[in-house]
Amino acid sequence: MSILADLTAGSVADANARKERRSKAEVEKAALEQTPALDALELLAPAERVKIIAEVKRASPSRGDLSEISDPAQLAVSYETGGASAISVLTEQRKFKGSLADLEAVRAAVSIPVLRKDFMATEYQILEARAAGADIVLLIVAALSQKKLAELHQLARELGMTALVETHSEDEIDRALEVGAQLVGVNARDLDSADFTLDKDLFGRVADRIPAGVIRVAESAVLKRKDVARYREAGADVVLVGEALVTDGDPIRTLEKFLSV
């Protein structure tokens, strides 16, 4: 089994275990009763300056433990203060040490859109995201059949959310566009390679495939200001940053630096 398939199977199994305790009907009711999702497409729209989605990331398969993050809400408030346009919360438990409780705490603390970043392949997970207050959900093209991608994208839309449709090649960008994605991510990290290879130039090579009118998000591999600048020069409207913000001890200053490109 590929690493991505393994991560997805783990997240789906964990969601299925939660479903034993909280039925799909109950989660759907909570999702429909939730405060309406923020309009992420409006808030992440292309602007004169680059925008940043700042990530709450405790650990990862490639880097192990990154930061304890005992108070994800406080970290998210720092991100908002530093100028982030949205917050990404890794809710995967097994390798990233996240949870839906993290997402709920972040949602209650900030007024910008919140992304549920997880390995999602079922309707239940999308409903859970909305019930927890997510405005954006991650759909990874490589983890889903085209039919499933279309179904989950449609469900996210029906619930008022935006899907960040993540790709790693031109073919995957075409698949994202085919389902009507308006927010397309290009992840520099190869989620299927054993060592999670980072290709910092991938975004620049494939960005032109994403047409005007669709928001372009460059994901991963930002450690320095110059990495943000390179993505911006290559056409990124939005850059998603995790590790650099959770490890340097002063996320507000780092965000201000990154946003100054």
Ligand X SMILES: O=C(O)c1ccccc1NCC(=O)[C@H](O)[C@H](O)COP(=O)(O)O
| Nearest-angstrom CA–CA distance, 28 and 130 | 9
Could you tell me the smallest distance in angstroms from the CB atom of residue 138 to ligand X? 8
Token output for 261: 């490109």
Choosing from 60, 85, 122, 162, the residue that interacts with ligand X (CB under 6 A) is 60
Regarding 62 and contact with ligand X (CB under 6 A), the answer is yes
Choosing from 189, 209, 216, 230, the residue that interacts with ligand X (CB under 6 A) is 189
Could you tell me the smallest distance in angstroms from the CB atom of residue 76 to ligand X? 15
Could you tell me the smallest distance in angstroms from the CB atom of residue 158 to ligand X? 25
Q: Torsion over CA of 71, 75, 80 and 85, rounded to 10 degrees?
A: -100
Given the complex with ligand X, which of 92 and 128 has the nearer CB atom?
Answer: 92
183-187 and 162-167 strand pairing: parallel
Please report, as residue ranges, which positions from 222 to 251 form the binding site for ligand X (by CB under 6 A). 222, 240-244
Could you tell me the smallest distance in angstroms from the CB atom of residue 244 to ligand X? 6
Regarding 221 and contact with ligand X (CB under 6 A), the answer is yes
| Nearest-angstrom CA–CA distance, 59 and 185 | 21
Q: In a 10 Å sphere around its CB, with 0-12 CB exposed, 13-18 middle and 19+ buried, how is residue 195 labelled?
A: exposed
| Nearest-angstrom CA–CA distance, 132 and 180 | 25
Size, binding site for ligand X by CB under 6 A = 20
Given the complex with ligand X, which of 62 and 154 has the nearer CB atom?
Answer: 62
Given the complex with ligand X, which of 67 and 154 has the nearer CB atom?
Answer: 67
Q: How many angstroms separate the Cα of 103 from the Cα of each of 17, 142, 209?
A: 19, 24, 32
Using the contact rule CB under 6 A, the part of the chain among 19-27, 41-49, 76-84, 213-221 near ligand X is 213-221
Residue at token pair 């939660």: 18
Could you tell me the smallest distance in angstroms from the CB atom of residue 199 to ligand X? 12
Given the complex with ligand X, which of 61 and 160 has the nearer CB atom?
Answer: 61
CB within 8 Å of 164: residues ≥ 6 apart: 115, 136, 137, 138, 139, 183, 184, 185, 217
Choosing from 191, 217, 228, 238, the residue that interacts with ligand X (CB under 6 A) is 191
Active site residues: 55, 57, 117, 166, 187, 219-220
125 in Cβ contact with 12 (< 8 Å): yes
Q: Applying CB under 6 A, which residues contact ligand X?
A: 7, 55, 57, 60-63, 187, 189, 191, 196, 219-222, 240-244
